[in-house]
Structure 1
Amino acid sequence: MQNLTLRHIHYTQLDPTTWCATAKVSSQLPLRLGSKPQQPLAPNILYSYPIKLHSFYWRHCPFQTPLSAIKDAANKRQQQRNGVRLLLQNLLSKLAIIDTLDDSQFPYRLKNSRYYVCFSHSVNSRLNDKVAVVISHRRPVGIDIETQDVAWQVAQRFYHPSEIAILAELSIEQRIIISKYLWQIKESFIKVYHYKLAQGLGMDYTCLIPALINSFTQESRSPIIINASKTGYQIAILPFQQTVIVF
């Protein structure tokens, strides 16, 4: 069983019925009573000793077998699942809302108050993820938190040709930032409309790029709000939380 801890929690109100929270979540396996924390071992050599064999000395270097990739990935998914739900409970407590999550179908909602709920998570390190949650009473919402940049080759593969044409004209620094914002916007709309991944990433959001470029020049800790008029939604960019919300 994992013990999860939330750190660096940030709360943001986007409109009268929409709130979001972001945090870092870390896990630690509980220690048995009286036991001491074990120091991490080297990945290959744990200990060695000489063995005399036919007058030659050999060094035997046994090593500890790590968790299988499948088991490790399953543990990571479970930590992320538990982490976003823990953050949701933290946000509800902050807002004095007593309710439980109905995740039996999309979009997720709170059972009693019927707030829409959306989660996101991003891997920061093996035992330390970033998690995010948004709730809104008006309509389905989307959220995406990303710690990694989007490779230009990936953008060229998935983005709309009109977007690629504009991005190619930007400076490298601008292209990196805007490509990432576009990815997060696309991921958020995928969660709102339940697009398939390739379909959602291929949507044309060229009309948003000028506003994204303008937001790139702003140095504010307040949310940067962009009107996505064609969709009827608004987009909030939280640069310091590496988070984008469609609400």
Structure 2
Amino acid sequence: MIIPVLNITNVQLTQLDHETWCVTAQVSDLSSPVEMSNLWNDSYWLSAYLSSHMVFTEFRHFKWHYHAVQKPISKRSIAHRQRQQQRQGVRQLLQALLNKLEISDTLDESSFPYRLSKSKYYVCFSHTAAHNKDEFNKKSHQNIPAISYSKIAAVISRRRPAGIDIEHNDVAWHIVKRFYSDSEITILQTLPKNQRDYIAKLLWQIKESFIKIHQYTLAQGLGIDYSDVIPALTDDMNKDFITISHTNDQSNHQIAVLQADQTVVVF
């Protein structure tokens, strides 16, 4: 299997405090490499053109041309390819961050939360799909592999686990009503729809980040009440960068919202 060449662009590095850094980027698959072992299977056809004055049996004089016949790409294959792309991409992004900070270390993935092997810094990843649907449809019609895009993010923290979540899609209101706390839903219902959807998505990202920190189950983490941060999120929703303190019986954390990158970090 050939590992695809990834193109990481729009890299944004943010230092959240003297012990915490996060980085976001866009990753795309630049190639759809073909393994030579598959060259002779039914996915390809061979055409030969005989030069003039050559005898048919003199195969050394054939000019061979290989034409890839693109098979239809299933949604399952696309999803699998994108998961591989995201997994590879966040690790390349982490390495870029370590290089920038002049940290010589490797990732230990033997348990959660992830840590760096030597320094023991805490590491967390996030990614979200960002297909260009128009480009995908156009290229699919032409039997050309579509280039898929993902947004990826990583955070490292010296002193304790940090959580990060990057997300482009809104959270459906029926999902909010199913999982969010009564206090959160009550406040959200008082907001105009566009503001409600914006805050609901940020709450989802905050919940996801805390899930990664405390290793909650999904249902448990989504049900925790973070209604205390809604007023600050609402008041500052037009700012590019928001920081909020969140303190309860279980934790004392800072929440950072990077608007341009659609990323939330809890640290």
TM-score bracket relative to the smaller structure: 0.7 to 0.9
Partner Cα separation in structure 1 for residue 32 and residue 183 of structure 2:
52
Residue correspondence of structure 1 range 79-90 to structure 2 within 5 A? 79-90=85-96
Match of 2:212, SS state, is: helix
**Where does structure 1 differ by over 4 angstroms across 4 or more consecutive aligned residues?**
none
Q: Does 1:163 find its partner at 2:180?
A: no
Aligned counterpart, 2:104: 98
Identity score, percent = 53
Aligned counterpart, 1:144: 165
Aligned counterpart, 2:115: 109
Measured against aligned partners, the alpha-carbon deviations of 1:91-111 in whole angstroms (never above 9, x if no partner) come to 111111111000110000000
Q: Does 1:67 find its partner at 2:73?
A: yes
Q: Does 1:211 find its partner at 2:232?
A: yes
TM-score by length of 1: 0.83
Structure 2, unaligned stretches of length 5 or more?
35-68, 132-146
What amino acid is the match of 2:242? I
Bigger Cα displacement from structure 2, 119-128 vs 65-74? 65-74
What amino acid is the match of 1:17? E
Aligned match for 1:228, one of 246, 261, 265? 246
Measured against aligned partners, the alpha-carbon deviations of 1:187-226 in whole angstroms (never above 9, x if no partner) come to 000000111111111111111111111121x433xx3110
Match of 2:81, SS state, is: helix
What amino acid is the match of 2:231? P
Match of 2:130, SS state, is: strand
Match of 2:127, SS state, is: strand
Shift of 1:31: 5.6
For the pair shown, which has the larger CA radius of gyration, 1 or 2?
2
What amino acid is the match of 1:144? D
Aligned match for 1:21, one of 20, 23, 26? 23
Match of 1:241, SS state, is: coil
Aligned counterpart, 1:240: 260
Aligned length: 214
What amino acid is the match of 2:239? E
Match of 1:135, SS state, is: strand
What amino acid is the match of 2:159? R
Aligned counterpart, 2:211: 190
Partner Cα separation in structure 1 for residue 29 and residue 70 of structure 2:
22
Match of 1:149, SS state, is: coil
What amino acid is the match of 1:134? V
Structure 1, unaligned stretches of length 5 or more?
33-62
